[in-house]
Amino acid sequence: MRPTSVILVLSLLAGGAHAQTAASAANPQSIADQFEMLGYDARLDPYESGRPRIRSAILGVNYSVAFYGCLDDMTDCQGLMFTAGFDMSDPSTWQFANGWNETRVYSRAFLDEDSDPYVQMPVPVASSLSHEDMRRLVDIWETEVIKFTDQIGFERSEESASESAPESDPVASAQPTAPASATPESSVRVGPKKAPSASSLGAQDR
């Protein structure tokens, strides 16, 4: 197991279980509400598959938070995936992505079929998250976005809070890496694929 999962889960779960304002991936609206309490515009915008998704922005970078570890009917989700993608004029390289993944703890990078860079931050367990847990989580994500945009040369905004939740994915866009089907009768949980292949990079969940 990568250190990302263990460290992030331990840091987020500490002290969160008894918070009165606890949020949970099983209740996507509670996660969106926490973003708004932190001063960010956020809106629920599920994929066509029914997988819950929140759209928001930070430092002028649009991103999405997709919900994973769900039942087949896309309810009772257990984890989150922050994702931001960047449509750059100059293609990135796998050497850059591999270098990022070798040195970062909380996030991972990959390239789509056009060699545009994406950064993701998985939260494998996201239940009973207090307001402070969510603040730490967003702070970690903001730090990763800052370092990532610095390395790829993307010009971001100086403001942290978004002025409005994005209606679509413009230059800085966000997508999950793997689709999933929804069959309401089944109780089997559906998670993301363990690693994006060349054919699945940047694929939208529909």
C-alpha span between 181 and 34 (Å, rounded): 28
What is the average pLDDT score of the chain?
A: 76
6-14 — which CB contacts under 8 Å span 24+ positions? 7/105, 7/106, 8/106, 8/122, 8/123, 8/124, 8/140, 9/123, 9/124, 9/125, 11/136, 12/123, 12/125, 12/126, 12/129, 12/133, 12/136, 12/137, 13/125, 13/128, 13/133, 14/133
Provide the residue range defining the domain that includes 153. 3-175
Question: Is the model more confident about 154 or about 20?
Answer: 154
Residue 116 placed within a domain: yes
pTM across the whole model: 0.73
Residue-wise pLDDT tens digits, 29-69: 999 999 999 999 999 999 999 999 999 999 999 999 999 99
Query: How deeply is 77 buried, as exposed, middle or buried, from its count of CB atoms within 10 A (0-12, 13-18, 19+)?
Result: buried
Residue 120 placed within a domain: yes
Which residues does residue 81 pair with via DSSP β-bridges, in sequence order? 66, 122
CATH label of the domain that carries residue 128: 3.30.1460.70
Residue 196 placed within a domain: no
Residue 184 placed within a domain: no
Arithmetic mean of pLDDT, 184-203: 31
Structural domains counted in the chain: 1
C-alpha span between 37 and 156 (Å, rounded): 23
Q: C-alpha dihedral over 117, 126, 33, 83, to 10 degrees?
A: 10
The pLDDT, as a whole number, for residue 126 is 86
Residue 204 placed within a domain: no
Question: Is the model more confident about 169 or about 103?
Answer: 103
Residue 72 pLDDT level (bands cut at 50, 70, 90): very high
Residue 127 placed within a domain: yes
Instruction: Please check whether residue 78 is in contact with residue 68, taking contact to mean a CB–CB distance below 8 angstroms.
Output: yes
The pLDDT, as a whole number, for residue 26 is 96
Please determine, for residue 192, whether its predicted confidence score (pLDDT) is greater than 80: no
Please determine, for residue 135, whether its predicted confidence score (pLDDT) is greater than 70: yes
Residue 71 placed within a domain: yes
C-alpha span between 132 and 136 (Å, rounded): 6
Residue 185 placed within a domain: no
Question: Is the model more confident about 113 or about 176?
Answer: 113
